[in-house]
Amino acid sequence: MAERLNGRVALVTGGSLGIGRATVLALAREGADVAFTYLGTRHRSDEPQLVVDGVKKLGRKAMAVESDVSRYAEAVKVVESVCTAFGRLDILINNAGINRDGVLWKMTEEQWDAVIDVNLKGCFNYLRAVSPIFRAQKSGKIVNVSSINGMRGKFGQANYAASKAGIIGLTKSAARELGPSNVNVNAVAPGFVETDMTRALPEEIQKQALRETAMGKFATPEDVAEVIVFLTSDQARHVTGEVVRVDGGQYL
């Protein structure tokens, strides 16, 4: 079968772990050259290079950029560096995210601000940085990673749920604004996914999430990545402003 993204260039934020890493590799398998960001304080020093090596083994070009997505000026520089290195940019995946859980009456301002700045403002920063490019070339695919907890709320995650709900509203507004320029903007809303971040959660929370799923199992990062790849392909050329749940029925 022909590669669906042959000749395309993609940028993935938070691309060296979990869903981001799986997405980088899935895009490369479909023929895309891929750049990704990572935040050095959250990684072992070898993790970004391992992802770069994985992309190169698939026969595609890769570039890892250490950057803080919450800073708009850095987002602009990253986008410029990708366009310089690869000569173009066709796909943006806003995946970078963190959690700082706590009930409202104990949540600190720092916990709130950190999650909103990375998850929601980070998404805006990269949308803002790529929009002039995509509008000028009259094409582009954008997928933002939200969460089912942005659709239903979650005890102890007011900041996280608010950030992910904001991403849904941002996705729909961006889809309306960029649609006339032939730019598709969609979101995926994963449920519980087996990643380093979720494995660190208390066992009872994991068991509760498992009980909620209709399929009785958690998603893998690859399950989410494959849906993201579909939304960046020409097969989804008439899909925009949508939020696709990838949750094994957990939201039901």
The C-alpha atoms of residue 169 and residue 180 are separated, in whole angstroms, by: 18
Tokens 């007011």, located at residue? 158
Task: Please report whether residue 88 resides in a domain.
Answer: yes
Residue 216 lies in a domain: yes
Question: What is the CATH number for 112?
Answer: 3.40.50.720
Q: Can you list the pairs that 171-179 forms with residues at least 24 positions away whose Cβ atoms lie under 8 Å?
A: 171/144, 171/146, 171/241, 171/243, 172/241, 174/127, 174/131, 174/142, 175/240, 175/241, 176/241, 177/131, 178/131, 178/134, 178/135, 178/140, 178/142, 179/240, 179/241
252 falls within a domain? no
Residue 141 counted as domain residue? yes
User: Would you give the distance in Å from CA 226 to the centre of its chain?
Assistant: 12
pLDDT tens column, 161-170: 999 999 999 9
Higher pLDDT, 3 or 227: 227
Q: Can you tell me the distance from the alpha carbon of 105 to that of 165, in angstroms, rounded to the nearest whole number?
A: 21
| For range 66-95, the mean pLDDT | 98
Query: With contact defined as beta carbons under 8 Å apart, do 223 and 194 qualify?
Result: no
Q: Answer yes or no: is pLDDT of 197 > 80.
A: no
120 inside domain? yes
pLDDT reading at 2 higher than 70: no
What's the average model confidence in pLDDT over 194-220? 88
Q: Name 246's bridge partners.
A: 190
pLDDT category of residue 201 using cuts at 50, 70 and 90: confident
Helix, strand or coil, per DSSP, at residue 239: coil
What are the pLDDT digits (tens) for 15-60?
999 999 999 999 999 999 999 999 976 656 789 999 999 999 999 9
Range of the domain at 106: 9-246
pLDDT computed for residue 41 by the predictor: 63
Contact 188, 231 (CB under 8 A): yes
In a domain, 3, yes or no: no
Q: Which residues are catalytic?
A: 160
Which range has the worst mean pLDDT, 136-140, 177-181, 201-205? 201-205
Residue 87, domain member (yes or no) = yes
**How many structural domains does the chain have?**
1
pLDDT of residue 198: 80
Residue 178 has pLDDT above 80, yes or no: yes
Query: Helix, strand or coil for residue 156?
Result: coil
**Edge-first strand listing for the sheet containing 9-12:** 62-66, 33-38, 9-12, 91-94, 140-145, 183-190, 243-246
Q: Is residue 1 part of a domain?
A: no
